[in-house]
Structure 1
Amino acid sequence: MTVLHRSHDRGITTLTLDSPANRNALSAALVGELGTALADCAADPGVRAVLLTHTGTTFCAGADLKSPPDPAAFVALMRAVVELPKPVVARVTGHVRAGGLGLLGACDIAVAGPDSTYAFTEALLGLAPAVISMPLLPRMDPRAAGRYYLTGERFGAAEAVRAGLLTEAADDVDAALAPVLDGLRRASPQGLAASKALVTATVVETFDRWTEDLSARSAALFASAEAKEGVTAFLERREPPWVW
């Protein structure tokens, strides 16, 4: 059963995350299918840009704790979005959590609706937003990252724009995206690839510098007793013992 659907219209390929049963969490299946779809888009001259969207009320809930992807595969997926020689635009009308923010942050343009919410929940589980920092920290306001990384607070689309996670918050997401997609259709493939390379250069350098270190940190945290307790408490819908 596929967890990703593709459609195409006038140069724009839409990739729709479709695993509502687990809130489009980053399972091994979803990461694999999305990686394959992006590679196909890169190789297809008929694709001018990619629109990444979702079914259900959640864009992406983060890592699937019951069927997690290989960590290296998830890092490779985020980097594939950043390095795709075609723009990737996120259309968000639902919630984004934890690792889902890494996928969102890797996109070139992100437009979200008023019902969307965001939270870095890792610290609440004994983890840290380690590998997702590579596409996020070069783009986020440092003070916002410091607050939301540490507190796990939930915030809305307007604050996500201020923090640097989103390009635009709009009551009508599709109306806001219309001029964006029109502009991408009017741009030349070479012009888009060269322009994207300019604006993603710092993010690519961050992947080059930090992938090994942050992947090791993430693995160590997931293997720790504290994180195992935090994840167990989350799955059992109870508070972990460190909550006062």
Structure 2
Amino acid sequence: MKFETLEIAREGSVATIWMNRPDVHNAFNEALIADLTAACQALDADDSVRAVILAGRGKSFSAGADLNWMRRAADASVEENIADARKLAGMLRTLAEMNKPTIARVHGAALGGGMGLASACDICIAGEGAVFATSEVKFGIIPSAISPYVIRAIGARQAGRYFQTAERISAARAAELGLAHEAVPAAELDARVQDIVAALLQGGPKSQAAAKALIRAVADRPVSDELVEDTARRIATLRATPEAKEGLAAFLDKRPAAWVAAM
């Protein structure tokens, strides 16, 4: 896959999407939004890919919106702005709803849309020098497209603070908030990401996809008869699949499951 603003690196069954606009701290523009959407779609459709890492070249993960892109948006019509916003929102949803496990490898700045990317990934590991912020109000706008993922990560109460203050959030504070799963020394960032990848590769790919769908179906819903029935049907359906049968057989035989042995 060739992209204007990305590099895709493969190591076995793991793909790393490197945002590659280091001169502007991997800030979003039309090209990066389109490339990320296409890359996520392609990798999700590739059965040889088991996990996806999202990372940034240069000094930052992503500094959010490109200022030149924002200037163009300010001069555009409402209809043009809606079309642009839909593309950004669609890219974030494509990333968030990938069937494969996703990990944000965050270093340096993860501001605005960059914080949205980190929130949209399943797992976020931050180096100790990472800085997050929903900085949109400083530009007279709001973190609208990223809001479903940031609020999911830190909750409405904390979002109520940071969406309005635009305060910088350290890696340690991000871990306290639940935005980052872990904050680690910068020198250990890659090793910790690889530890998480190794753990992910032990799981069945179809069950991991089903686990992601389960979270979307259950989160923030009251425990009702319908919800209990839905969860019962989900596990019952999976128990009859070849992957589940192989996983149980491997455990009883004290051997690696086929998806682990094939790595």
TM over 0.5: yes
1:56 aligned residue:
58
Shift of 1:77: 0.7
Whether 1:173 and 2:175 are equivalent positions in the alignment is no
Matched residue type, 2:113: G
Matches within 5 A, 1:67-146: 67=69, 70-146=84-160
Shift of 1:199: 2.5
Q: Residues 42 and 61 (structure 1 numbering): CA distance in 2 closer, same or farther, change over 3 Å?
A: same
C-alpha contact 1:24 1:59 (8 A) present in aligned 2: yes
Q: Residues 148 and 34 (structure 1 numbering): CA distance in 2 closer, same or farther, change over 3 Å?
A: same
Matches within 5 A, 1:92-241: 92-171=106-185, 172-201=188-217
1:23 aligned residue:
25
**Structure 2 portions without partners, runs of 5+:** 71-82, 222-263
* Identity across the alignment (%): 36
**Structure 1 portions without partners, runs of 5+:** 206-244
> Matched residues in 1 for 2:220 and 2:119: separation?
13
Shift of 1:100: 1.3
TM-score when normalising by structure 1:
0.79
C-alpha contact 1:79 1:204 (8 A) present in aligned 2: no
CA RMSD in angstroms, aligned pairs only:
2.0
Shift of 1:67: 2.6
2:61 alignment partner, SS class: strand
Matched residue type, 1:42: D
How many residues in Structure 1 have an aligned counterpart in Structure 2?
205
TM-score when normalising by structure 2:
0.73
Matched residue type, 1:101: M
Which fold has the larger relative contact order, with Cα–Cα distance below 8 Å and residues 6 or more apart in sequence? 1
